[in-house]
Amino acid sequence: MATTKPELDKPLQLPLSPEDLQTINEYLFPLTPQEILKWAVEYLPGLYQTTAFGLTGLVAIDMLSKLTPSPPPLIFLDTLYHFQETYELVQEVEKRYGQHIHVYKPEGCQTVQDFETKFGEKLWETDEDTYDFAVKVEPAQRAYQELNVRSVITGRRASQGGDRASLQPLEVDATGLLKLNPLCSWTFPFVEWYITQNNVPRNRLLDQGYKSVGDWHSTVKSGDGDGGERAGRWADKQEKTECGLHKDYFAMKARAKLEAQQAQELGKN
């Protein structure tokens, strides 16, 4: 394991070689989340934080507010189907930390009516991959291009299980985007402890029986002992663990394009 800070350019020069990525992760893995975030502010180019204002993301926002007077800007992907409590939390965070939040919605849509006119009702039931692409993946890529994002801070942790079980502090996705997971080694009790000790704003739904909050149509209350900390998300889809934001962008884009073409052909017939 690396014990000293590796000699690297500030900011890092992209693309990052596999060797440099491994060296960086060996250095970052034993560090605290605050130390990882401090390193990231110093080294990662075009750094933003993408957040749906879950507990881990809120911890990172609070930590960064205490580490630097100019924390990375925030990006919120508004699917148009969030709970009202989530929208209220967004306003509370903006007021508490004095940060401007870049809000991105599905392309060409400002309201649910706009979205359903474009894609039909209950797209998450008829074609969940296209739904994920339309509400999360495409808006994220649009945000990254318009804001010149090269690196993002995420709220993912290994203890959340599923595709996240082998999470490293720093990853590179298929598009070349750097993804920093500063709390990857923290468990849920650590996150809750930090939220409580630092009086960090949190979604009021978490006090009403929800363990993890996403879109209202795919989030249900979870009884005591039900599953893990993301229990209640996609409850009727046991194999689903990700919303699409952390899947292969190019594969999802190709599939969405193909399905759009097929829908057009059906419309002509």
CA distance linking residue 66 with residue 34, whole number of Å: 9
Catalytic sites, residue numbers = 243
**Positive or negative CA dihedral for 78, 84, 89, 94?**
positive
CA distance linking residue 246 with residue 117, whole number of Å: 27
DSSP β-bridge partners for residue 152 = 48, 179
CA distance linking residue 144 with residue 75, whole number of Å: 9
| C-alpha gyration radius of the chain | 19
Q: How many CA atoms lie within 13 A of 256 on its CB side?
A: 20
